[in-house]
Amino acid sequence: MSKESSEICALCGLPKELCICQNLVSEEQEIIIFNDRRKWGKIVTLATFKGNDNLDLESILKKAKRKLGSGGTLRGKSTIEIRGDQKFNLKKLLINLGFDKESITIRA
């Protein structure tokens, strides 16, 4: 058995390089982005993902921290926290990662 044939997605049954699961997961998400204040008045940006739980938030967080040049962490199973006021930058990044523009809401 070759290495390529053993790399098949368990969800969709397609080879890993043709897997569409991540795209389907991103289309099913509702994302709410908003700012919050932490200790000593520091502002953080929170992105809450509602919908399918099969999303790899650690990977998204790692890409966001690298792209935005800011620290961040996971809060629970469905929220990403990024330091600073990054609402619009985070929305732009999520759209570039394949999330639907209409499913992302920015709250004041």
CATH number at residue 36: 3.30.780.10
For residue range 97-108, list pLDDT tens digits in order.
888 889 999 998
Q: Are 31 and 94 in contact (CB under 8 A)?
A: yes
**Is 54 a member of any domain?**
yes
**Number of independent structural domains in the chain:** 1
For residue range 20-29, list pLDDT tens digits in order.
666 655 556 7
The sheet carrying 104-106 orders its strands as: 72-75, 79-83, 43-50, 30-37, 104-106
Task: Look up the pTM and report it.
Answer: 0.73
